[in-house]
Amino acid sequence: RLLRPGGRLVLCAWMAAPDASRRAREWLLDPICEEGRLSGLTTAPRLHRWATQAGLTVERLDDVTPLVRRTWTTVLRRFFYALLTNPSVLGTLLDSSVPDRVFARTILRIWVAQHVGALRYGWLVAAQAL
């Protein structure tokens, strides 16, 4: 048992759009998972179903993508600025011994995926029955 009776679960999650196209999955969502070392992306309806099947009452499930989309624009802008102004950033990207350099591609994929509606960000609030 993770929650006390009457307790609440708040879960913030990246989610795939339920209607994401095959192309969006192949070019954006699947690579985001692979490069970001994520096991996968759920959808809002699936998240709701999991919570309900676990005996929780879903109080809210909000898509807040428009509120966080700016974050990835800022990250992308700062990354390109660092790339242009700090030679060590480019050196790191070109250094094959740096395993996390792949995340540079992921930044752009996340930005594109959010702007085309394939990648969503939301939160679920669910309560345990008393």
Delimit the domains of the chain by residue range: 8-128
Question: How many Å apart are CA 17 and CA 42, to the nearest integer?
Answer: 9
Question: How many Å apart are CA 83 and CA 70, to the nearest integer?
Answer: 20
Predicted TM-score (pTM) of the model is 0.87
pLDDT in tens, 9-26: 999 999 999 999 999 999
pLDDT in tens, 74-106: 999 999 999 999 999 999 999 999 988 888 889
Q: Which CATH architecture has domain 8-128?
A: 3-Layer(aba) Sandwich (3.40)
Q: Is pLDDT above 80 for 1?
A: no
Would you state the pLDDT for residue 2? 74
